[in-house]
Structure 1
Amino acid sequence: MPPRAKEALSVFLKVFWVSLFVVAVILALGWFVFDGSTTRPRVIRSRLTIVVETPEGERSGSSVTQETISFPGGLTRAQGWGLTEQLVGEAVVVDLGQHGILFSTFERQSILSRGGGDAYNAGLTPFPQDKFRGENAAKASINEKYAAYLDDLNRSKPKSELQLKDVPALVRFGNLNDPTSVAPVNPLDLATSFGPGVTFKGATVEITDDPITHGIQSRLTWLRSSKVAEYLFPNPTHQPPPDARVVRHLSYDDFRRLPR
């Protein structure tokens, strides 16, 4: 190779490696500033099962949801994001035959009237962290301890009965094709909503490896119309609602959560 060609190649290689190093530094700095996490995300799948007694016999329904818990660092954590969570899945459907269909939601009954809040399966009942500690170093950070706890849940697959106060808000639809026909259901008095002899028997939550449940859109076909969290009662003018029914707080996301 001629001397000039060798010199040109040498310069090119120096520029290439310097550029590669600069890019690597920028990427590393960006990761540290905007994330900087040293704890990998954890995934928890959980099954919520609801059991109802009817004059024709026991009926039940269940759903498996998935929650991905991330542990951001860097600037993200400095802004107050200690944990980020993403829920995917759908609410429980209990087909009561001639009596109708019972739906759970991702809302807690106790705060639905104040605007709602997440009530995903595993979050309904606290599996005590002091019981499922997992394995971690003596000087483990809070995030590392919580990650070890989640790992222990995935290993041991615990199951728990739900207290009535922890059962998510329950509803029914007068017309499955009309989201505004939704009405709240009292678990202590299912007979008022579904007829004599229909009673709530209980609910359980368990950690599982089963696949995420799909199918609620075959019951509530209007869920297919939008991938965003539209309210069941549209309010494009943002004016105060004409009534104070708690179900006006419900949105599509209270029945299914899509990946974001």
Structure 2
Amino acid sequence: MKKIALLALLLFLAAIGLFLAVVWNGYEWHQKLTVTMDTPNGPLSASSVQQMRLSDKRGPWNPPEGSGVSFTLSGEAVVMELAPGRYLFALLTGVPSLGRLLHPKMDVIDAAKLLERGEAEAYRSVTLSRRDYPLLVTFGDMNDPASVQRVDPANLEASFGPGYRLQSMTLALTEEPVNTGRVKKVLAWIGPHPELKLSPPTGRTSNIPFSRRVGEGDFIRGKT
């Protein structure tokens, strides 16, 4: 009887494992976002290693409303100190999947498999086009979340003064660990609640301030 019970348990666990593999099939890889700037003191670069996860929930076990492919990015924003106390952040918002950039004609699942396996071809760096830039921001006062300001990638001089220009943004597959602690080091008020916006609700339905459109989860997301 014990052998039968053990066999039944093993079969049950195997069935659960198969079910989860079908329903929650996913692929993960690390991609490195690097921002390079021209400054009055010469070129400057900063980067952040982030984790992209593709979840494939297609198949007969998933209801139509829950079926499909989704991407989840975790990690931290790129932090670049352009001048003493003046920082540029390339947020997690808008960072593309490297698979789409490296293999635009390939099925997203097949591309994700290549990235997760670390195929040698995929290690080359991709220069982002303007449409793939993540959101860029800065702060008028680093201690005041509500002072967040959008930065125009085509006109950094408007935010930082003469001599500042975005040279390039690149994305590359990497085996480096996901960065942690860099954002918290310069934004001490960042907490563990990604859903929080950077300023309180205004009660308005129009003329909503930019600080209500940006949340803590745009700077830090996931287990960092």
Q: How does the TM-score come out when normalised to structure 2?
A: 0.82
Q: Deviations over 1:176-207 (max 9, x none)?
A: 12111101011111111111121111111111
State the match for 1:107 in structure 2.
93
Partner SS state of residue 49, structure 1: strand
What one-letter code is carried by the residue in structure 1 that aligns with 2:7?
F
Q: Could you tell me whether the CA contact under 8 Å between 1:160 and 1:206 is conserved in 2?
A: yes
Q: Is 1:251 paired with 2:215?
A: yes
State the match for 2:203 in structure 1.
239
- With over 3 angstroms needed to count, the CA separation of the structure-2 counterparts of 1:146 and 1:84, relative to structure 1, is same
State the match for 2:27 in structure 1.
42
State the match for 1:89 in structure 2.
75
2:140 to 158, 163, 174: 174
What one-letter code is carried by the residue in structure 1 that aligns with 2:204?
P
Q: Is 1:220 paired with 2:187?
A: yes
After TM superposition, give the deviation of residue 95 of structure 1 in Å. 0.9
Q: Could you tell me whether the CA contact under 8 Å between 2:35 and 2:169 is conserved in 1?
A: yes
1:145 to 100, 103, 110: 110
- With over 3 angstroms needed to count, the CA separation of the structure-2 counterparts of 1:122 and 1:246, relative to structure 1, is farther
- With over 3 angstroms needed to count, the CA separation of the structure-2 counterparts of 1:106 and 1:55, relative to structure 1, is same
What one-letter code is carried by the residue in structure 2 that aligns with 1:145?
D
Compare 182-191 and 162-171 and name the one that shifted more. Answer: 162-171
Question: Aligned ranges for residues 55-66 of structure 1 at < 5 Å?
Answer: 55-66=40-51
Q: Matches of 1:56 and 1:147 in 2, distance apart?
A: 40
- With over 3 angstroms needed to count, the CA separation of the structure-2 counterparts of 1:53 and 1:162, relative to structure 1, is same
- With over 3 angstroms needed to count, the CA separation of the structure-2 counterparts of 1:232 and 1:196, relative to structure 1, is same
Sequence identity (%): 27
- Report the RMSD for the aligned CA atoms in angstroms: 3.1
- With over 3 angstroms needed to count, the CA separation of the structure-2 counterparts of 1:37 and 1:194, relative to structure 1, is same
Q: Note the residue ranges of structure 1 that are not aligned, 5 or more in a row.
A: 1-13, 109-118, 134-141
State the match for 2:161 in structure 1.
195
2:53 to 57, 68, 85: 68
Q: More strand per residue: 1 or 2?
A: 2
Partner SS state of residue 205, structure 1: strand
After TM superposition, give the deviation of residue 89 of structure 1 in Å. 0.8
- With over 3 angstroms needed to count, the CA separation of the structure-2 counterparts of 1:120 and 1:227, relative to structure 1, is farther
Q: Matches of 1:144 and 1:53 in 2, distance apart?
A: 37
Q: Is 1:211 paired with 2:187?
A: no
Q: How does the TM-score come out when normalised to structure 1?
A: 0.72
Q: Matches of 1:178 and 1:241 in 2, distance apart?
A: 23
After TM superposition, give the deviation of residue 50 of structure 1 in Å. 0.9
Q: Deviations over 1:43-86 (max 9, x none)?
A: 21111111111212222211110123344566347654333544
Compare 176-185 and 154-163 and name the one that shifted more. Answer: 154-163
Find the structure with the greater CA-based Rg: 1
Q: Could you tell me whether the CA contact under 8 Å between 1:89 and 1:256 is conserved in 2?
A: yes
Q: Matches of 2:166 and 2:82 in 1, distance apart?
A: 11
